[in-house]
Chain A
């Protein structure tokens, strides 16, 4: 597959920086147009899908974590069946199985998808580039402690690190430890302390 020759004829409404549309951007436009013409979906469907994806941010995962920190029974249900517990909060995960792995003073958890990029996107949104990178996928299963150090996360040697390799059908989410300085905080305040990377496991929440 080669890059298309030449640049677009009309730059008047061109909103990208590039002088020409790349081959795959051209393909996306062509495929989308053909599928709309074949009534596979409508442009409104595409827009709605993008809006739904934009609405999925790490704030969703943070809500789940904050609830687990404040409600012991919920925490139990979350660890037993992640998807069902998310549904309790109105977060639909579809057909995906969600396994929530809990950090403890003895054990720290990290998630990865060594084969591609599987990620709890319904709770965290689209993954960051580094999560999909060769460096992260290759190394985090081999030398997680060093990889965490590259994220600025230094764990005591006594803490064991468990790395969880996701699949298309089964996603993981890390339940971080609740910071010690949060007594009396409500769920929203707690949720604001939960970062995306703490739910991936590459960082811990400052206490």
Chain B
């Protein structure tokens, strides 16, 4: 077992910095907005520590494969299920519905 968790990468060796940037896509901004709204003091349905814990418990291969906001979306969803705000069952059904209707990625809140 690795003593240093995957996300804890300070001081490790790694390749050259690639000064990559991209304009955030609407869906990435919505994920960001979800986190901000849920963690807002009026709601308190998500703490940043929960977000981090649910990201840090991703396996190393998933962590590396997923993009930044995919990791966030995973962690937000895990937190909501852990807190009982949504159930896995209703989430699964709704995701099937969304796929079936070929939903517009920017539908509703673009």
Interface contact A126-B34, CB-CB below 8 Å: no
Interface contact B94-A28, CB-CB below 8 Å: no
Q: How far is the CA of A135 from the CA of B64 in the complex (A)?
A: 12
Of the residues B15, B17, B31, contact of A28 by C-beta under 8 Å: B31
Q: How far is the CA of A129 from the CA of B101 in the complex (A)?
A: 32
Residues of B within 8 A of A14 (CB): 102, 104-105
- Residue A49 at the B interface, CB < 8 A? yes
A172 to chain B minimum Cβ distance, whole angstroms, is 15
- Residue A77 at the B interface, CB < 8 A? no
- Residue B9 at the A interface, CB < 8 A? yes
A49-B33, A49-B36, A53-B32 known; A13+B14 contact, CB < 8 A: no
Interface string of B34-68 (1 = CB under 8 A from A): 10111001010100110010010000000010101
Which A137-190 residues sit within 8 Å CB-CB of chain B? Answer: 137-139, 141-142, 147, 150-151, 165, 168
Interface contact B34-A32, CB-CB below 8 Å: yes
A27-B73, A116-B7, A168-B49 known; A34+B86 contact, CB < 8 A: yes
Interface contact A9-B18, CB-CB below 8 Å: no
Residues of B within 8 A of A147 (CB): 17
Interface contact B48-A168, CB-CB below 8 Å: yes
Interface contact A30-B95, CB-CB below 8 Å: yes
List 27 contacting pairs A-B, 8 Å CB cutoff, sorted by A: A4-B95, A4-B99, A8-B99, A10-B102, A13-B104, A24-B70, A24-B73, A26-B103, A29-B107, A31-B76, A31-B77, A35-B80, A38-B85, A40-B43, A41-B37, A46-B34, A50-B29, A114-B8, A115-B8, A116-B55, A130-B20, A133-B18, A135-B18, A138-B9, A138-B14, A142-B10, A147-B17
